[in-house]
Amino acid sequence: MTLSYDGTRYRGWQRLPNAETVQGRVEAILSEIFAQPIEIDGSGRTDAGVHARMQVVSFEAEQLPIKKVLSQLRSLLPADIGAINLRYAPERFHARLSATEKTYTYHIHNSASPDVFMRKYRVQIVQRLDVELMRQAAQRLCGTHDFIAFCSNKHYKKSSVRTIKHIKIEESDENLTISMCADGFLYNMARILVGTLLEIGLGKREIDSIDEIFASKRRETAGETAPAKGLCLTEVRYEHTDFR
């Protein structure tokens, strides 16, 4: 199943006790439809306030007519969560573990004049950004590296090596989008990458500091964690399955 959602009023994707989360809300509705407890796995555990255009979800349940389930799901979901499609997946498919590539996009409004209609989805930066310098810095972040310095989890024990396939920075009038494609992201990694690039674009750090960040393997050497509202999970890819 593929979902899209506005993460503004949610405490993130992952189910939490006594908190409104996307996973918790969807599980409750699916459990009602199937009349049995349903647990779902998402392709990415988006943070509080982060949005998704393509959150792939896998779950196991008894067979019911797909069109009927999708129709019921759409009628019961709140307006800020949308069910895009629903289909049978290959055996042993797992939305997160089977993913080979994820793309996050960060949206910035680079202007002194606020964009009131997009304020929930773009971060406003008044000072003019040096976009070309940011593009040069982005190239240094690409490739296979240990990204532990770009992770907010101080107790992360698994491999923190990831491969960033590309970072594209595009301008359109006063709006800027930073698109990051990788084989996986650590906790807060996408937002810390953006925060680091923004500091370079604002002249607060040098491009060469990226090499120092990788060498240090310490979170405090990287940039600040960029605000959640500008980030959106935009695409998830799998080896033999297309959920777009």
Nearest to 86 by CA among 49, 36, 33: 33
Nearest to 179 by CA among 193, 168, 163: 168
Give every CB contact of residue 29 below 8 A, 6+ residues apart in sequence.
73, 76, 77
Q: Which region holds residue 109: left if phi is over 0, alpha if psi is between -120 and 50, else beta? A: beta
Rounded to whole angstroms, the Cα distance separating 125 from 209 reads: 22
Amino acid, res. 204? K
Known catalytic residues are 47
Nearest to 80 by CA among 158, 8, 142, 155: 8
